[in-house]
Structure 1
Amino acid sequence: MPPTIAPTLRQRRLGTELRKLREQAGLTSTGAAQRLGVNQARISSIESGRYAVSAERVRAFARAYDCADEALVDALCAMTGGRTRGWWDEYRDHLPAALIDLAELENHARELRVSLVIHIPALLQTTDHARALFQTVAPPLLPYEVEHRLSHRIKRQAVLHGDRAVPYTALIHEAALRMGFGGRDVTRAQLRHLIDMGESDNVTVRVIPFGSGFPGTGQSIDYVSGPVPQLDTVQLDTHHGCEFLDSRAQLNKYASVLDRMEAAALKPDESRDFIHRIAHDL
């Protein structure tokens, strides 16, 4: 397969996991190349995601690395081939690459778990609320940039609907419910939308009230579960854009933080009533 000029997050992750298997086998890239009958540069290109591999080649790597985890190998094989085109590809020339990667990551997720302090989760935002947020970005976005980001965000929400709806848990701090982006009417409609989405079979909305404290740094966290635990990913929002983490130590850390947040949150029915009271008082 031909080399990839700009590998996606998914392609880079496949390469990363192949590198982890090689290292667990105690092989250098040179040693792996000799065992597989390829040159060392090809191994490096594959592990960086710059060279696509087939499912057959992934299975050959797994055999060479003595990997007996069939579930992991099957999951890696499902990630092979060239770049998979999805609806997000139409935005590649208009949005930062990390936002495209995030949409693709969510599309392949087995489960999504998020926590936010200041903002409503992106996948639960109304169009008006999202537009109000994008209009506050610094430096300011041009009108057409706002519309690109808005349509991209709304299309991301499709993962919560339909036959392949992803299980989704949102842990939302009370502060986010009271921020008032877009004014009273937009905020009230947003809160009612949260209540409605919380009634979906696959969506759980839980509120962390001010009185419960906050077991974390206040950073927004998206925990994306893959087909096997080794392929989980954490996405963090930062001032410079999305940051993706996938080391086992990082995954364990953020899973623990989310567990503590969930323990501090109201139950779903209590959260629904809590949101309803805030909307009523606006």
Structure 2
Amino acid sequence: MALRTQISERQRRFGAELRRLREGAGLAVKDAGALVGMGGPQLSHIEAGRTGLDPDRLTTLLNAYGHMDETYVTALQEMGLSNGKGWWSAFKGSVTASALDLAESESGATSLSSYETLLIPGLLQVPRYSEVILSGDEKKMEFRRSRQQAISADGALHFHAVIHEAALHARFGGPEVMREQLDSLVEASELPHITIQILPFRCAEYVSTDTSFMIVHGPNADLDTVLMEHPGGSSYHGDPESLIAYRSKFERLKSLALPELDVSLALRSRVDQDSWGLIQHLRYTL
């Protein structure tokens, strides 16, 4: 079987998990390979995501590595068996490989936790806002609308977004577009599976909030993935240290942010500032 020249995030993560488990079991690559009738170099290619592994050999390796968590094993088997195709396949060549990886990751997720510093999260953007952000690129806009089905269609994922107040002040598209965008955030918050909090400027604690990120929660916590956004592109992290660090960071951001958007509280007196009150204040200053 020819080795892959382009490796998707799913394929890379599948191999990385096998390598992590093997090293955790204290097995050399040549010894692990011998268990399934292959040489060390062949198993190294699998661990690098350059080629796949059939289910029977995967089961043999997982047994040898001592990892018997049923949910994890099932999820890893599905990751290895997937052909990587989905609605996003039609956009190959029109969006970045990282964007395709994100769409595929979201398709297998159970929930999403997002922190944004300067932009409204893509999954919550209205079309006119996206048009400005994506410079009017029709294919990219269509891709973003398709991604939004993850939190709007039947069986939608739970989506928890912490948005820095700075993103609400940037008037992309002008006041009218931003007013529409703010109204859309309020409407989205009424859905039971969407939680939105605003991190205000007055937050005095620094929590390394200079980089946007999203945690894609998988069917097993060990298979969660952290997506970090950078000016030069996106990067994915699934190692245990990164997962621990960013879960902790998101929990801290939640605690520092204003109480979640809750339209029902508009009918009662509001003593403390909350996310709804801040959005309404900003809306009427546009």
Q: Tell me the TM-score normalised to structure 1 length.
A: 0.92
* Letter in structure 1 aligned against 2:223: L
Deviates more, 1:235-244 or 1:34-43: 34-43
In the alignment, what sits opposite 2:265? none
In the alignment, what sits opposite 1:274? 278
In the alignment, what sits opposite 2:91? 91
Q: Percent identity?
A: 34
- Paired residue for 1:154, among 133, 136, 145? 145
Distance (whole Å) between structure 1 residues aligned to residue 170 and residue 200 of structure 2: 14
Distance (whole Å) between structure 2 residues aligned to residue 186 and residue 163 of structure 1: 28
Question: CA contact under 8 A between 2:117 and 2:209: conserved in structure 1?
Answer: no
1:8-52 deviations in whole A, cap 9, x for unaligned?
111111111011111111111111112221122221121112212
Distance (whole Å) between structure 1 residues aligned to residue 82 and residue 42 of structure 2: 16
In the alignment, what sits opposite 1:237? 229
Question: CA contact under 8 A between 1:224 and 1:234: conserved in structure 2?
Answer: yes
Structure 2 matches for 1:66-215, cutoff 5 A?
66-135=66-135, 146-213=137-204, 214-215=206-207
Q: CA deviation at 1:150?
A: 1.3
In the alignment, what sits opposite 1:140? none
Question: CA contact under 8 A between 2:11 and 2:49: conserved in structure 1?
Answer: yes
Question: CA contact under 8 A between 1:188 and 1:279: conserved in structure 2?
Answer: yes
SS at match of 1:78: helix
The root-mean-square deviation of aligned C-alpha atoms, in Å, is: 1.6
Distance (whole Å) between structure 1 residues aligned to residue 278 and residue 55 of structure 2: 49
Distance (whole Å) between structure 2 residues aligned to residue 104 and residue 45 of structure 1: 22
- Report runs of 4+ in structure 1 exceeding 4 Å deviation: none
Q: CA deviation at 1:236?
A: 0.7
1:91-132 deviations in whole A, cap 9, x for unaligned?
111222111101111111111001111111110001110111
* Letter in structure 2 aligned against 1:172: I
* Letter in structure 1 aligned against 2:193: N
Gaps of 5+ in 2: 263-273
Q: Tell me the TM-score normalised to structure 2 length.
A: 0.91
Deviates more, 1:57-66 or 1:11-20: 57-66
1:252 equivalent in alignment to 2:244: yes
SS at match of 1:281: coil
Question: CA contact under 8 A between 1:54 and 1:77: conserved in structure 2?
Answer: no
Distance (whole Å) between structure 2 residues aligned to residue 118 and residue 19 of structure 1: 36
Question: CA contact under 8 A between 2:35 and 2:61: conserved in structure 1?
Answer: no
Structure 2 matches for 1:57-68, cutoff 5 A?
57-68=57-68
1:51 equivalent in alignment to 2:51: yes
Deviates more, 1:151-160 or 1:61-70: 61-70
Q: CA deviation at 1:196?
A: 0.6
SS at match of 2:81: coil
Question: CA contact under 8 A between 1:52 and 1:82: conserved in structure 2?
Answer: no
Gaps of 5+ in 1: 136-142
- Paired residue for 1:224, among 205, 216, 222? 216
